[in-house]
Chain A
Amino acid sequence: MSTHYDTPVSSTAEREAVIRSAGLAPEEDWVIVTRGIQRDYDMGGEVVHALRGVDLAIRRNEYVAIMGPSGSGKSTLMNLIGCLDTPTAGEYWLNGMLVSDMSDDELARVRNREIGFVFQTFNLLPRATALHNVELPLVYAGIPSQERKRRATAALERVQLGDRAHHRPNELSGGQRQRVAIARALVNEPAILLADEPTGNLDSGTSAEIMRVFESLATEGQTVIMVTHEADIAANARRIVVLRDGRISSDERRDTFAARVALAQAAH
């Protein structure tokens, strides 16, 4: 998937230099590269370091879970990856663009085209139908109405909700609402699907259903990044990054992670 931008925000050479300095191979297809990103909050004169220098690189087609206890900085990292916020220091490259220096409106454009959000609380517009909710990102992308309808319908069908297009969120079950949100996240064909506790408001049966949707998306080649504090949900991903005190404390493939968890449990 190539970017839709007319002009690149920064040069490829710059990006390659950053990737090299991170000890990565520039020829590989890196969707996300962060270099020493920090995020400080000024809480009434006292500076809180939410992120203390995070280096994270994610390839296209990866299915990554970001874990960590509350206060570990995973929400902050998600906001940064989701381009809802910019780092205090460090660089963030998304799909070949240097996002960390962007203005508000540029960030909005990146969110619109590169990122599909799935939230814990679904965040659907309550008065709008499922179809209209899914259309929203296309509205802000300036896609004409007919084309929007067509693409939104296709996205709903992709999550098996083609027959619920004209239902409002309160007429849908929790799992269906989350699937509408997934359809909305996918409708602009984003570089990454970014899910924040996607099963936090769902029962275990529905959680499994949503995880199956993620699994099939990942299999189809969609890059998925999921922020969660639940180990069994994170275990669905193929790579698990654990944050602690604003830094990455571990970054492992699922099998090794599962083995370590099993060992830890056996030790107790």
Chain B
Amino acid sequence: MSFLEAIRLALSQIRAHKLKSFFTLLGVTIGVMFLIAVVAVINGMGRYMEEEFAGKLMGVNTFTLRHRPYFEMNTTDEEWRSYARRQRIMRHDVEPVVAALPPDILWAIESRDNIPVSTKDMRPRDVEAFAVDGQFFEIRSLNAASGRLIAPHEFAMGAKVVVIGQDVKKRFFPTTEALGRELRIGGVPYRIIGVMEEQGSVFGLSVDKFVVAPMNSPMARLLNRRFGVIDGIILKSNSMLGMQEGMERVRQVMRGRHKLRPSQPDDFSIETTESALTFWAKIENILVMAGVVLPALGLLVGAIVIMNIMLVAVAQRTREIGIRKSLGARRRDILSQFLVEAATLSTIGAAFGILLGMGLAAIVEQASPMPASVAPWSVVTAVILGAGVGIVSGMYPAARAARLDPIVALRQEL
């Protein structure tokens, strides 16, 4: 009997027992559905990380010099203590670092923290406050929606001016014009000179809840108490190659300034979008593993159900097996008939699961800020898993059917 013949036979069996087949499929369908959906969400987040997050929060060809890594997981207590002992990056580090780099490189310095801000009539709220200098706005691709950016002389003088994000504007000046008004930060009034364009959100968290003031303004002391301490130096090259070379030069300058011997490791960290993405990749692996457990359980249940249903089917169809054998079906014909039936059943289950999983991924995408993108490999895996589950769980029942003695099988009462 040919393979196509066997599939046709299997399909007619499945059609003949629609309800039973439906329940048989359920386990595989649910397993595959979760596989597709979970992988789609993880995959979507991964893509999002690369396209949106990395660009929005870090920018391309950009690297940051900090005293400790920003994107890191599984930091041990010991590492934390060593980070705490490290020298901080200082303002007087900026000039030598920038001097070591080609003139076309953009630089900025920042200190940042969550601190409360308020107005005369509004209660304080926490916002992400940045004290910056250099080409901060160019590097972060921030443009003013209204008003203007901080001017060089304001940076130099440490003028008490701020530009604010859309969320801050909406919070404190929902109906009125924000430009020219006062924002109180640490009890000091700052004049709002610009409102930034909307940035959107990363993982559903708005990145528009920020204020930016000059590094020389009094706000810097709220972010880093010790005078001259800054959180990091941000450097943007115009090419990948320039960035890599720049990173190496910065490393050498900082090692020199910290008087490190060649045997000593760096006591600062230089991070790129790569670091952020590596960090993400680590999370992704954990998520994928966690995401695989659920579908695996579904498939296991599906396999057990299919095996049971096939055993029942073999028992119910003993007479049919006897008839087929009497007409010349060999063991392998009967074996393949039941194997193909089990495999077809579970592959159909997998197909439903793929469709439902895609639907689930679409719903997740609509209902939550999390993006989802169905991975082609997960669809292929689902199909292979579907057929595999059927074959594995159909093996024992099919072998039992194939071994039946035709005389005994023919004698079975209908």
Which of A's residues lie within 8 Å of B, judged by CB?
Answer: 79, 82, 84-85, 104-105, 108-109, 111-113, 117, 119, 121, 123-125, 127, 136-137, 139-142, 184, 188
Rounded to whole angstroms, the CA-CA distance of A217 and B382 in the bound complex is 55
List B390-414 residues whose CB lies under 8 Å from chain A: 406-407, 410, 414
B327 in contact with A111 (CB, 8 Å): yes
Q: Is the CB of B333 within 8 A of A125?
A: no
**Cβ contacts under 8 Å, B324 to chain A:** 136, 140
- B244 is an interface residue with CB less than 8 A from chain A: no
Is the Cβ of A108 less than 8 Å from the Cβ of B1? no
Q: In the complex, what distance in Å separates the CA atom of A23 from the CA atom of B9?
A: 49
Q: At the interface, yes or no: B276 with Cβ under 8 Å from chain A?
A: no
Determine the chain A residues whose CB is within 8 A of the CB of B410 once the complex forms: 84, 119, 123
Whether B184 sits at the interface, judged by CB under 8 Å, is no
- Cα A138 to Cα B113 with chains together (Å): 81
Q: Does B176 contact A (CB under 8 A)?
A: no
| Shortest Cβ distance from A128 into B: residue | B12
Q: How far is the CA of A123 from the CA of B331 in the complex (A)?
A: 19
Residues on A with C-beta less than 8 A from B320 are: 125
Contacts A123-B319, A123-B410, A127-B12 given: A184-B330 contact, CB under 8 Å?
no
Which residues of chain B from 1 to 26 have a CB within 8 Å of any chain A CB?
1-2, 5, 12, 16
Expressed in whole angstroms, the Cα–Cα distance for A109 and B330 within the complex equals 7
Q: Could you show 11 A-B contacts with beta carbons less than 8 Å apart?
A: A84-B326, A105-B331, A108-B330, A111-B328, A123-B410, A125-B323, A127-B12, A136-B323, A137-B327, A140-B333, A141-B328
Given contacts A105-B331, A108-B330, 9 further A-B contacts (CB under 8 A): A84-B406, A105-B332, A109-B330, A111-B326, A111-B327, A123-B326, A137-B328, A140-B330, A141-B328
The verdict on B67 contacting chain A, using a C-beta distance below 8 Å, is no
A88 to chain B minimum Cβ distance, whole angstroms, is 15
A112-B16 CB under 8 A given contacts A119-B410, A125-B320, A139-B1:
no
Residues of B within 8 A of A84 (CB): 325-326, 406-407, 410
- B1 in complex: contacting residue of A82, A105, A140, A188, CB < 8 Å: A140
A172 to chain B, nearest CB (A): 16
Which of A82, A104, A112, A139 interacts with B331 by CB under 8 Å?
A104
Q: Decide if B330 touches A104 in the complex (CB within 8 Å).
A: yes
Q: Which B residues lie within 8 Å of A123 (CB)?
A: 319, 322-323, 326, 410
**Known: A123-B319, A127-B12, A127-B16. Contact between A140 and B327, CB under 8 A?**
yes
> B329 in the interface, Cβ–Cβ < 8 Å?
yes
Interface of B is mostly: helix
CB-CB nearest in chain A for B406: A84
10 closest A-B pairs by CB: A112-B328, A140-B328, A108-B330, A105-B330, A137-B327, A123-B323, A111-B328, A84-B406, A136-B327, A84-B407
Q: How many angstroms between the C-alpha atoms of A119 and B414 in the bound complex?
A: 14
Q: How far does the alpha carbon of A233 sit from the alpha carbon of B13 in the complex, in Å?
A: 38
Taking CB atoms, residues of chain B closer than 8 Å to A184 are 327
Q: Which residue of A lies closest to B408 (CB)?
A: A84
Chain A residues with CB below 8 A from B332, complex form: 105
Contacts of B2 in A (CB 8 A): 142
Q: Which residue of A lies closest to B1 (CB)?
A: A139
Q: With A and B bound together, what is the CA distance between A30 and B325 in angstroms? A: 26
In the complex, chain B residues whose CB is within 8 Å of the CB of A104:
330-331
Contact of B326 among A109, A117, A127 (CB under 8 A): A117
Q: With a CB–CB cut-off of 8 A, which chain A residues contact B12?
A: 127
A108 touches B325 (CB 8 A): yes
Separation in Å of the B334 CB from the closest CB of chain A?
A: 10
User: How many whole Å from B245's CB to the nearest CB in chain A?
Assistant: 70
Nearest Cβ distance between residue B14 and chain A, in whole angstroms?
12
Residues of A within 8 A of B322 (CB): 123
| Residue of B319, B331, B406 with most chain A CB atoms under a 10 A cut-off | B406
> When the two chains form their complex, are residues A108 and B328 in contact, meaning their CB atoms are under 8 A apart?
yes
Residue of A nearest to B402 (CB): A104
CB distance from A125 to the nearest CB of B (A): 6
Bound state CA distance, A136 and B320, in angstroms? 12
Q: Which of B1, B319, B327, B414 contacts A117 (CB 8 A)?
A: B327
The residue in chain B whose Cβ has the minimal distance to the Cβ of A140 is: B328
Interchain CA distance A136-B332 in the complex, whole Å:
16
Q: Nearest-CB distance from A114 to chain B (Å)?
A: 9
Determine whether the beta carbon of A140 is less than 8 Å from that of B323: no
Interface residues of B in 309-349 (CB under 8 A from A): 319-320, 322-333
Q: With CB as the reference atom, state the residue of chain A lying closest to B403.
A: A104
Give complex CA distance A104, B329 in Å: 10
| B6 (CB) vs chain A CBs: closest residue | A139
Distance between Cα atoms of A197 and B70 in the complex (Å): 88
Which residue on A lies nearest to B329, using beta carbons? A140
Q: How far is the CA of A113 from the CA of B328 in the complex (A)?
A: 8
* Nearest CB on B from A103, distance (A): 10
For A108, list chain B residues within 8 Å (CB): 325, 328-331, 333
